[in-house]
Amino acid sequence: MSAPYDPQKAFMVSWDQIHRDSRALSWRLDGTEWRAIVAVTRGGLVPACILARELNLRVVDTIGLKSYSDQSQGSEVRLLKAPDAKLMGDGEGILIVDDLVDTGKTLEVARRMYPKAHFATVYAKPKGRPLVDTYITEVSQDTWIYFPWDTVPQYVKPLRGAD
């Protein structure tokens, strides 16, 4: 995948940071009686789990959406798994959570399906931000976010003194 991302603008998110930022998101969402929380898989699973705990939500479901990019045919989002239809209705009282909104194509599909749902992400980029009702941190469009579930800590040799 060739992306217009500057390696100098890599944003490394640790487990501690995603936990803190997800809890901060829960503080912004507190005060509303949500019927359920729906995680956009896969990235929304961790924030949704933290939000479900913080907001005392016991009804948790998922929506699986996959973006495909083909230079010859453009970009397409496919629904892989829908949440329970009886639960969802038009989305009223439902909190839909993802880790990040980038271009907004994935959330655009979910918003068409559930127009009355509340959409929340931990991080938002400018192109996708209009599709999100609540978020914590905005990052520039050319920043690549590395989430802790996509990385592993590894040894780095010291600058001096060790073999």
What integer is the mean pLDDT of 2-16?
77
Which of 6, 16, 98, 133 is labelled catalytic?
98
pLDDT in tens, 113-137: 999 999 999 999 999 999 999 999 9
Structural domains in the chain, sorted by start: 9-149 (3.40.50.2020)
Q: Which helix (H) or strand (E) holds 16?
A: helix 15-29
Catalytic annotation on 61?
no
What is the structure's pLDDT at 72?
47
Beta bridge partners of 135: 121
Catalytic annotation on 102?
yes
Which of 30, 90, 102, 142 is labelled catalytic?
102
Which of 84, 90, 99, 150 is labelled catalytic?
99
pLDDT in tens, 41-91: 999 999 999 999 999 999 999 999 988 765 545 578 999 999 999 999 999
> Considering the entire predicted model, what is its pTM?
0.87
- For the chain, how far is it from start to end, CA to CA, in angstroms? 35
Catalytic annotation on 99?
yes
Does residue 1 have a pLDDT over 50? Answer: no
Q: Coil, helix or strand for 149? A: helix
DSSP, res 14: -
- How much of the chain, in percent, has pLDDT values that exceed 90? 79
